[in-house]
Structure 1
Amino acid sequence: MKAVVADFRRIRELLELSRARMALSVGWGVLALGSGLGLAALAAWLIARAWQMPPVLDLSIAVVTVRALGISRGLCRYLERLATHDVALRAMSTARTTTYRTLAGANIWRPRRTGAANGDGAAAGLPSAEAEGRQGDPTQLRRGELLGRVMSDIDDLGAVVVRAFVPIAVALILSLLAVGLLASISMPAAVILAVALAVSGILAPWLSARAAREAELAVRADRTEFTAEALTVLDHAPELRVAGRLSEAVGAAAAAGQRAVAAEDRAAARGAWAAAVLPLSIGASVLGALLIGIVLYGSGSPVPTAGFQTVAPGGITPMAFTVLVLVPLSAFEAVAVLPAAAQALTTGRAALHRLDRLEHDESATPASEFPELPPGRRIAVVGPSGAGKTTLLMAWAGLFDAPRPGVTFFAEDAHLFGTSVLENLRVARGDITAGEAESALRAVGAGDWLDSLPDGVDTDLVGGAAAVSGGQRRRILLARALLAPARVLLLDEPTEHLEAAAGAELLHRLLDESSGLVERDRTVVVVTHQLPPDTKADTIVRVEPGGTVSIERSIPTVTT
C-alpha cells in the first residue's frame, strides 16, 4: 500500500496536477452522477405517489425537479469531461516537456557498464555484444522501442487522470451519499448496499488490476518487441534480403505479434471474471433491498388519516419502498468504472517506473571513462560485431556528453532526405556547390551512379534512402562526411554493402595520407570488421568483446 501511495504522489508530481482543477473535475463528476442518483430516487417516489392519485399540484414540484435533474445530469457530465480532459492534457504536456528535458541529459544515451577491462589502452564501460543486444533492460532501447514506449508511457500517465483519479474520487463520494440515503429508510438495506458497493468497488478492481498487471508484463514486452522487429524489417528490408535474413526477421516480428495476442487473450479471460463481479453485486443489493422492503411494508399497513396515509411504527410507505429498491440500481453507476480505473492505475504505475528507470539510470559509463582518441592521422578500429566499436566512436565524437567541435560522426544509418542529392550533401555544409558535390561523389566511387542520374546532383531522391541501394547510400553519406568542415572524421563502417574489392580499395584510400582522398591535416578514424592487408593506417585499435580496447600498432604523430 505504501508503494501505491508513493506512486500516486510521484504521478501527481510528474504531471504537476492542479488541485483546484482536479477539485473542479471531481465536483462536476459528483453533480453529474448525483443528478442520476437523485433522479432515480425522485422518479421512484413520483411513480409510487402518482399511483395514489393525489391532486396534480402535489406532484408539480417533483415533476419539475425530475426534468431539472435529467437536464443537469447530461450538462454536468459534459462539463466534467471538459474539465477532466483539460487537466489531463495540460498534465501530459507538462510531463512530455519534463521527460524530454530529463532524457536529453540522462545516462541512457551512454553505454552500460560491463566491468573493467585490462590491457594496453583498456577502458571500462564498453558494452559487450550481449549487453548491446539485451532487450529486457528498459534503459537500452532500440529505435523502435524508444519511438513507441516513451510516448505510450506518457499517454498512460495522462489516462490515469481521466480514468482513475477523478472516477475514484467521484465513486467514493457517491457511494457515501447512496448509503446515507438508504440508511434514512432502512439501516439493514443500507448495510447490504455498503457491502455490495465495497465488493464491486474493491474486489472487482483488484481482479481487474491483477489482469492488467499480467497483461502489462506479457503484452507490453511482446508488443514492444513486435514494434522494434517490424521497424527493423521496414527500414532494412533490402539489406536483410541480400543477407538472406529477411524471412527470419519477418518471422521474429510475426512470432512477437502472436505472443502478444495470446497474452491479451489470457488477460481478457481474467478481466471477464472481474467484469462479472459488478452485475452480481447489483443483483445481491437489489434482491436484499427488495426482501427487506417487503418485510417492512408488510409489517406496517397504511392507515388513512384525513385524506393521507400514514404508516404504523416499523413499516414504510409505498414511496419509500420503491426508493429502497430502485436507488441501488443507480448507486452502482459510480463504481462501475472502478475496474477500468484499476487497470489505468496499474498501467500508469508501470509506465511511471519505466520512465523513472530511464531518467535515473546510474549504470551508464561516464564519458570520462572512455579511452581518449589515440595518436595518429589515420586510425582503424577493428573488432567483431557487438564488441562496442560504434559506441567507442560515439564517445570520441562527444555524443555521450558535450559535443566536441571539429569532429563529425559518420553514422552507418544516417538519414537521407527525400530531396536532391546536392541538398543531401549540404547537410554537412550549407554552401557546397554542385561542382564540389560532384567531385566528392566521384572521389568515393559514385561516379558511374552519378552519370546515370537524369539531373546529376540535382536529381531528387524520392523516398530518401529507399531511392538508392545500400552501397550507393554509403557512398553518398561518405561524400557528405568528406565535405564536412570538421578536422576529425569518425567513419562507422563506410564500406559496408560495397563489393569486396571496391570496399577494400576505398579503405586503403581512406587510411592512406598520400591518396588525396582526405587532406593530410585531417584525422580519419574508420571502423571496419575486416581490415585489408598492407594498410597504411598509423594506428590500429582493436575492440574485444567485454570492453577491452587495445592499441595494436601506433607511431608517434601529432594528436588532434
Structure 2
Amino acid sequence: MTLFLTGAERRALRRVLRLLEIDARGVAVSVLLGVLWLGSAIGLAATSAWLIARASQQPPVLSLTVAAVAVRMFGISRALMRYLQRLASHRVALTGMDALRQNLYDALASARVDRVAALRRGDLLARTGADVDDVGDLVVKALLPAAVTAIVGAGTVAGIALLSPASALILAGCLVVSGVLTPLLLMRAARVAEEESRSARTDLAATAMSVMDGAAELQISGALPRLHRHLRDVEDALSRSASRAARLSGAASGIDRIAMGAAVVGALLVGVPQTASGQVAAVALAVLVLTPLSSFEGTAELSGAATQLVRSASAAVRIDELLGHDTPVAAHPVPASPDGPRLVARGLAVGWPGGPVVARGIDLEVGPGSRLALVGPSGIGKSTLLATLAGLLAPVEGTVTLDGCDVWGGDRADVTARVTMTAEDAHVFDTTVLENLRVADPGLTAEQATRLLATAGLGEWLDRLPGGLDTLLGPGGTAVSGGERRRLLLARAVAAPAPLMLLDEPAEHLDPPTADALMRVLLATGSRGRGVVVATHRLSALGGADLVLVLDRPAPGAPARVVARGTHEELTRRSDRYRWAVEQEA
C-alpha cells in the first residue's frame, strides 16, 4: 500500500484528464476567484485584529474609519468571491464531466464489443456514471483547492514576515504540517477505504441491479433470499472499511487542529518578547496571533482534496480499463454496391475473444429479399454468429464481407447503414413508446410508428395506453410484459432503414400462436425487398423462409456446424429430427 498515487493511477489520470477537455481559461478564473475568496478571509481576520487592538488604545475615531470600511469590504467580498468561485469551478467540472462521458461513449461505440459485454450491467453503470463524476470532481475538490491554498499560503507567510520573520517561519512550518502531513494521512485513509471497498461497491451495484431486474424470477427460483444475504454481507464489508478509514481521518483532523494551535501559541511565544523589546508594535501583535486562525481555512480544504485525489485516481483506473489499450486501427470504408447490399460468409468460425470456437464451417449469403433462418439448441452459437455477421465480433476463421469488403474493421456508419441487428436482450429505454422506436429511425412519424406497432401485434396494446405513443415505459421497459417487450423490439427492428435485418429470438416470451404470427410477418418483410436473418427456436412458422440452416454439434463439446440446410418443407420431409421438433410444437 502506498500513500502516493501508483504508476498505473498516474497514467490513467493523465489519459482520462485529456478526455475531460478542461477549459484552461475557466480554471484560471476559478483559481483567481478562489485566491480572492481566501485572501478576503485572511484580510478580514488581520484587519479585524488590528482594528480591535487599535480601538483599545482609544485613538481618534477618524483613524479607525479606513479599517472599519476594510472589514466590511472583506466580509462582503469573502462571501461574494466564494459564491462566484463555486459557480466558475462547477461550470468547469460539469462541462468536463459532460465531455468525458461523451468521449467515453464515443470510444465504447467504436471499440470491440466484448470489452463492454464482458462487464456486468452494474459495473458498466458505475464506470460510466459514478466514476466519471469522481474524475470530474478532481477539478473542483482537489486541483483548485490545492492551487488556491498554495498561492494564498505563500502570500500570508510573506505578509507575516514583514512584521516578524520568526513568526512567519513558525506559521510556514505549521501550514506545511496541516497542508502536507494531514492530507497524506487522509490519502492513506482514502486508499484503505477505496481498496477494501472497490470490489464491494461494484458487487453491490451489480447485485442490486440483478435483484431489481429479475426479482420475480429470483423469487420463484428461491435465489432471492441468498442474494439478500449477499447484499447484507457486502454492506457490512463497506461499513468495516469506512470505520477503519474514519479512524485515520480522525487522527488527521487532530493533527490539523494541533498545527493550528501551535501556530497561535508560537506567534505568542515569539511576538510577546518582540513586542516587549519594541521590535513589534503592540497592535501588530494581535495581527500576528489572530491571522493564522484564518490562514488554516485553506489547508482545511486540502483534507478533502487528498481524499478526492485517491478516489478520482481509482475511478480513472477503472475508466482506463474500460477504454482499453488496443492500438487504434483506422476503419476501412465499405462502399455501397449498386445491386444492393450483399452479406457473404465463407468458411466462417465464430467465438468470443479469448473463448472457444462455438461454431465453424458456416457458409451463407444474404441480400435484398433474402429470408434466412438459423435454428438449433440454446447455446449453440446463433447469437455469436449474428454478432459476427453484424461486424461486432471478429471472425475466428474465414471471412464475412459486405459488398466485397470485410465487415470486421469496416466503418461503422457504412456497416450500420446497411445491416442492423436486434439482440435478444436489446434495451428498452426509459422514455416514450415513440422515442423507443425512433432509436432505429429518428425521422419516424407518429403515423408510421402506429402502423409498425399494429404490424407487430401491439395495436390493441397501444390503444389501451393512457398516453398512446407518448406513454413512458419506465426504466428498462418495466412497464411492459416480456411479450410486449419482444414485439416492441421487433417493431423497432422493422423501423430501422437498413436493408438487411439480423434478429435474435424475436418470438421469445410469446405464446405459440402469437409467435408464429409475428414470425410470418417478419419473414414477409423479405418479400418486400429487405434481407432478413432470424435466429429462432420456433420452427412452425418458417415456411416463409427461403433457407433454413440447422446448427448442431457433431459430438459433445465440439464446435457446432451446419448439419442440415434447405427450405422448411424440404427439412420436414428429409430430416426426422427436424420433423419431430415441428410436431412437438404442434
Which of 323, 334, 340 is equivalent to 1:359?
323
Give the drift of 1:177. Answer: 1.7
* Secondary structure in structure 2 of the residue aligned to 1:111: helix
Contact 1:379–1:541 (Cα < 8 Å) also in 2? no
Give the drift of 1:246. Answer: 3.2
Taking structure 1 as reference, are residues 50 and 406 closer, same or farther at Cα in structure 2, changes over 3 Å only? closer
Give the drift of 1:167. Answer: 1.0
* Secondary structure in structure 1 of the residue aligned to 2:560: strand
Which residue matches 2:310? 346
Give the drift of 1:463. Answer: 7.0
Measured in 2, the distance between the counterparts of 1:62 and 1:433 equals 73
Q: Does 1:394 align with 2:381?
A: no
Contact 2:383–2:535 (Cα < 8 Å) also in 1? no
Give the drift of 1:391. Answer: 3.8
* Secondary structure in structure 1 of the residue aligned to 2:551: strand
Deviations 1:383-404, CA, capped at 9 Å, x for gaps = 55xx865344322233456345
Measured in 2, the distance between the counterparts of 1:414 and 1:358 equals 20
Which residue matches 1:415? 428
Measured in 1, the distance between the counterparts of 2:290 and 2:439 equals 74
Unaligned runs of 5+ residues in structure 1 are: 113-137, 301-310, 442-449
Which residue matches 1:266? 244
Give the drift of 1:32. Answer: 1.6
Q: Does 1:49 align with 2:44?
A: no
Taking structure 1 as reference, are residues 480 and 243 closer, same or farther at Cα in structure 2, changes over 3 Å only? farther
Taking structure 1 as reference, are residues 140 and 290 closer, same or farther at Cα in structure 2, changes over 3 Å only? farther
Contact 1:139–1:361 (Cα < 8 Å) also in 2? no
Give the drift of 1:176. Answer: 1.1
Which residue matches 1:225? 203
Given the two structures, how large is their TM-score scaled by the length of structure 2? 0.69
Contact 1:156–1:348 (Cα < 8 Å) also in 2? yes
Q: Does 1:279 align with 2:257?
A: yes
* Secondary structure in structure 2 of the residue aligned to 1:337: helix
Measured in 2, the distance between the counterparts of 1:212 and 1:273 equals 13
Given the two structures, how large is their TM-score scaled by the length of structure 1? 0.72
Deviations 1:342-368, CA, capped at 9 Å, x for gaps = 122222222222222222343999999
Which residue matches 1:336? 300
Deviations 1:229-288, CA, capped at 9 Å, x for gaps = 222222222333343333334444444344333333333332222222211110111122
Which residue matches 2:40? 35
Give the drift of 1:199. Answer: 1.0
Measured in 2, the distance between the counterparts of 1:105 and 1:334 equals 44
* Secondary structure in structure 2 of the residue aligned to 1:411: coil
Which residue matches 1:379? 374
Contact 2:97–2:132 (Cα < 8 Å) also in 1? yes
Kindly indicate whether structure 1 or structure 2 has the higher relative contact order, using CA contacts under 8 Å at least 6 residues apart.
1
Contact 2:437–2:491 (Cα < 8 Å) also in 1? no
Taking structure 1 as reference, are residues 388 and 181 closer, same or farther at Cα in structure 2, changes over 3 Å only? farther
Taking structure 1 as reference, are residues 331 and 426 closer, same or farther at Cα in structure 2, changes over 3 Å only? closer
Measured in 1, the distance between the counterparts of 2:307 and 2:430 equals 42
- Aligned-residue Cα RMSD (Å) equals 4.5
Which residue matches 1:118? none
Contact 1:382–1:542 (Cα < 8 Å) also in 2? no
Q: Pick which of 369-378 and 53-62 moved more.
A: 369-378
Which residue matches 1:111? 114
Contact 2:34–2:81 (Cα < 8 Å) also in 1? yes
Contact 2:362–2:561 (Cα < 8 Å) also in 1? no
Which residue matches 1:93? 98
Q: Pick which of 371-380 and 205-214 moved more.
A: 371-380
Taking structure 1 as reference, are residues 527 and 213 closer, same or farther at Cα in structure 2, changes over 3 Å only? farther
Deviations 1:453-473, CA, capped at 9 Å, x for gaps = 9x4663339875545654565
* Secondary structure in structure 2 of the residue aligned to 1:181: helix
Taking structure 1 as reference, are residues 282 and 543 closer, same or farther at Cα in structure 2, changes over 3 Å only? farther
Taking structure 1 as reference, are residues 139 and 203 closer, same or farther at Cα in structure 2, changes over 3 Å only? farther
Taking structure 1 as reference, are residues 254 and 394 closer, same or farther at Cα in structure 2, changes over 3 Å only? farther
Which of 80, 83, 86 is equivalent to 2:88?
83
* Secondary structure in structure 1 of the residue aligned to 2:118: coil
Q: Pick which of 204-213 and 68-77 moved more.
A: 68-77
Contact 2:22–2:92 (Cα < 8 Å) also in 1? yes
Which residues of 2 match residues 433-448 of structure 1 at below 5 A?
Answer: 441=457
Unaligned runs of 5+ residues in structure 2 are: 332-344, 351-359, 366-371, 394-407, 568-586
Question: What is the one-letter code of the residue matched to 1:355?
Answer: I
Measured in 2, the distance between the counterparts of 1:473 and 1:456 equals 11
Report how many residues are paired: 491
Deviations 1:112-152, CA, capped at 9 Å, x for gaps = 6xxxxxxxxxxxxxxxxxxxxxxxxx883333332332122
Which residue matches 2:26? 21
* Secondary structure in structure 2 of the residue aligned to 1:539: strand
Measured in 2, the distance between the counterparts of 1:379 and 1:479 equals 20
Which residue matches 2:123? 145
Q: Does 1:210 align with 2:210?
A: no
Contact 1:196–1:282 (Cα < 8 Å) also in 2? yes
Question: What is the one-letter code of the residue matched to 1:91?
Answer: G
Measured in 1, the distance between the counterparts of 2:176 and 2:200 equals 35
Deviations 1:442-491, CA, capped at 9 Å, x for gaps = xxxxxxxx9xx9x4663339875545654565577568769989887655
Which of 320, 325, 331 is equivalent to 2:289?
325
Measured in 2, the distance between the counterparts of 1:396 and 1:142 equals 24
Measured in 2, the distance between the counterparts of 1:2 and 1:456 equals 56
* Secondary structure in structure 1 of the residue aligned to 2:375: strand
Give the drift of 1:168. Answer: 0.7
